[in-house]
Amino acid sequence: MTPGRIIFLNGTSSSGKSSIARELLDILDDGVFSHLSVDAFNSMRARRELSAPEFDAALRRTRLGFHRSVAAMAEVGNDLVVDHVLSEPWQLADCLAVLRPEDVLFVGVHCPLPEMERRERARGDREAGLAALQYDLVHAHGDYDLECDTGTASPRACAERIRDFLPHRPTPTAFSRLRARYSIEGTPGCEAGPH
């Protein structure tokens, strides 16, 4: 069975990842793509009040499960658009450990901070300041196959750029290059980082 392709969108909250993902599902006609979002996995969790340690542990397990769900879906041949916020080094290291690097097109989704803050206020469903908190963290690894900016291009234009780039993925991929730099040994969810 041929593994599925993964278009992996990484960016802060309110950067436009979900909007790009929706556009990609409308315009990708080479295969059948599904959108897997870390936010959707988070929304499946019970809403009861948790202590800070309980919440942190639940969030970590959710992320680990999300990464493995993406891997399992791709392994059986599903093409995927993944939307994630890699705000901690262990999250990227875990993705590098469980996803086949040659199948991943790693896309950095950028947006100027003032625009993301405006979007946060307009949406009203996000914690104020979340994008600012994540801003310097999500792209700290510094390596992508492709980058786009929703502050200067519409989600549709970003999706079209990704679609047009998909058949021309570089070799080695960004995931392959990053895997060589990151420690992916040890238990799942280890605090791995670049060497």
Q: What is the pTM of this model?
A: 0.90
Residue 195 to residue 187: CA distance in whole angstroms: 17
Give residue-wise pLDDT tens across range 56-100. Answer: 999 999 999 999 999 999 999 999 999 999 999 999 999 999 999
Residue 139 to residue 110: CA distance in whole angstroms: 9
Give residue-wise pLDDT tens across range 126-169. Answer: 677 788 889 899 999 999 999 999 999 999 999 999 999 999 98
Residues with a catalytic annotation lie at 39
Residue 172 to residue 167: CA distance in whole angstroms: 14
Under a CB-based contact definition with an 8 Å cutoff, are residues 189 and 94 in contact?
A: yes
Identify the bridge partners of residue 194 per DSSP, sorted by sequence position: 182
- Counted residue by residue, the chain has a size of 195
Residue 186 to residue 184: CA distance in whole angstroms: 7
